[in-house]
Amino acid sequence: MHEHVPPSRVLHCARTRSWSRLAGGVALAIFAVPYLLLLWLSLGSGWSYPNLGPDRVDFRPWQAFASEGNSLLRGALTAGLLSPCVATFATLVGLLVGRQVQTHRGVWMYVAYLPFACSPVIIGLCLLDLFIRLGLASSLAGVFLIQSVFASAFAVILFSELWSPEIGRLERVVQTLGGSQWQMWRHAVWPRLWKLMLVCWLQTLLFSWLDYGLVSTIGGGIVPSLTLGVIAYVREASMNQAAQAAIVLIVPPVLVMLLIGGVMQGRVPEGRIDA
């Protein structure tokens, strides 16, 4: 294992590493520009050509955001309430159904993938009539339900793809040794599954938080939404408000992704994410 490495190679490796760090730093700086620009634009009003930043740094978009009855704030609060409910429901459906799908692939796998592969806008458009008939259109309950369909499909796929057969074996061991249902869950399933459940919960939370197609069609503009605000501001060329709305929209997902990265980092054997 401890082979001799010539000094020239050590020097070469050190140089390569420092170049790699430099390249990484430069790439990171370029990558950060659009994000920083978004933040900068959100701090002021106007963006006349050829100014690089807003014409006036007066924090007006943020003041408007914090003002009473602001639709973006209501959108953020609604999404903040809705997305954990969708995520919890979908994770439970995924947990209970995903494992079954893994063992009964074929048509059921296809069914699970269907919503995942379909455009939410098109499905929302085609389902609006049904939701109106059910009295669920333009309501939080309706948006919860339709987002849950898509999020649950995603959760089912995630659990069916990543379920480890090892859990089943452990369950049988606990059972053989006389363990109760609770002990089996506590000692065999939970330790193997909690990370996958967390990842699924966070991913479905993100799906709901970032959804545009379903909330715009089934919510009909009556269920407030951040994504609707971003699209409206971009299309009306209100650059500062659009930037501010985008910041509010992306901060939670980026944090969630960093959290997922932290959860998965260093604990996943290469080639397998079996939690």
Partner 1 sequence: MDAARTPVFRRLGPVAWRGVLALFIAGPIAWAMLYALAYSLGGVGRLSSGWTTEHWRNAFVAPGIMGAFAYSVVIALIVTTLVVLITLGMLLSFPSIRHNRAFLLMVIVLMGTPSLVLAQMVGNTLGQGGWLSRLSYHAGLIETAGDFPALVNDRLHVGMTISLSLSLLPLVLLYFSQLWGALRLDRCCDLAQSLGASRLDARLRVALPMLIWRGKSMMMLLFILTIGSYEVPLLLGRQSPQMFSVATQRLASGFDLSRKPQAYVLAILYLVCTSLALMLYIRGKSADA
Partner 2 sequence: MLPNRHVTFVARFALCLSVCALLLAGCDSPKAETVDLSTTNWQQISEAASGTTVRMAMWDGDPAINAFMRDYVRRRMQAEHGVTVEFIGGLGNSLVDRLMVELDAGRTVGDIDLMWINGETFFQLRQINALFGPFTTTLPNNKYIDWQDPFIALDFQKSVDGYECPWGNVQLALIYHSGRVSDPPQNRTELAAWVKAHPGRFTIDNSFTGMTFLKGLLYDLAGGPGAWDGDFDEARYRRESAKLWEYWRSIKPYLWREGQTYPESVAQLHQLMMNGEVDFSMSNNDGEVDNKAVQGILPDESRGYAWETGTIRNSHYLGIPVNAPNKAAAMVLANFLISPDAQLQKAKPEVWGDGSILDMDKLPAEYRKQFSQIPGRTRVASRESLGERALTEPAPEIMVRLEADFRKYMIEGN
Give the footprint of partner 1 on residues 138-197 (CB under 8 A).
Answer: 146, 148-149, 152-153, 156, 163, 165, 167-169, 171-172, 175, 181, 184-185, 189
253 binds partner 1 (CB under 8 A): yes
63 binds partner 1 (CB under 8 A): no
Taking the complex as a whole, the smallest distance from the CB of residue 112 to partner 2 amounts, in Å, to: 19
Considering the complex, state which of residue 204 and residue 227 has its C-beta at the smaller distance from partner 1. Answer: 227
Q: Please, which of residues 197-236 interact with partner 1 by CB under 8 A?
A: 206, 210, 212-213, 227, 230-231, 234-235
SS3 260: helix
Q: Are 243 and 38 in contact (CB under 8 A)?
A: yes
Interface residue with partner 1, options 3, 7, 52, 68 (CB under 8 A): 52
Q: For residue 50, is the peptide bond before it cis, meaning its omega torsion is within 30 degrees of 0?
A: yes
69: partner contacted, choices partner 2, partner 1, none (Cβ within 5-8 A by kind): partner 2
Distance CA(78)–CA(30), nearest Å, equals 34
Taking the complex as a whole, the smallest distance from the CB of residue 154 to partner 2 amounts, in Å, to: 18
Interface residue with partner 2, options 79, 90, 136, 174 (CB under 8 A): 136
CA distances from 69 to 72, 241, 249 (A): 9, 16, 18
Buried b (16+ CB within 10 A) or exposed e, 97-108: bbbebbeeeeeb
Taking the complex as a whole, the smallest distance from the CB of residue 269 to partner 1 amounts, in Å, to: 9
The dihedral region occupied by 67, where left means phi > 0, alpha psi between -120 and 50, and beta the remainder, is beta
- Contacts with partner 2 by CB under 8 A: the residue count is 43
Interface residue with partner 2, options 58, 99, 139, 198 (CB under 8 A): 139
CA distances from 192 to 57, 90, 273 (A): 51, 19, 11
Considering the complex, state which of residue 223 and residue 249 has its C-beta at the smaller distance from partner 1. Answer: 249
Distance CA(228)–CA(14), nearest Å, equals 50
Binding mask 11-30 for partner 1 (x = CB under 8 A): ---------xx--xx-xx--
94: partner contacted, choices partner 2, partner 1, none (Cβ within 5-8 A by kind): none
CA angle in degrees (0–180, nearest 5) for 153-156-160: 145
138 binds partner 2 (CB under 8 A): yes
Q: Which of 117, 149, 169 is nearest to 274 (CA)?
A: 169
Name the one range near partner 2 by CB under 8 A: 26-34, 115-123, 133-141, 260-268: 133-141
Distance CA(40)–CA(210), nearest Å, equals 22
Q: Are 78 and 70 in contact (CB under 8 A)?
A: no
Taking the complex as a whole, the smallest distance from the CB of residue 71 to partner 1 amounts, in Å, to: 17
Considering the complex, state which of residue 9 and residue 69 has its C-beta at the smaller distance from partner 1. Answer: 9
Distance CA(55)–CA(48), nearest Å, equals 6
Interface residue with partner 2, options 38, 39, 85, 170 (CB under 8 A): 85
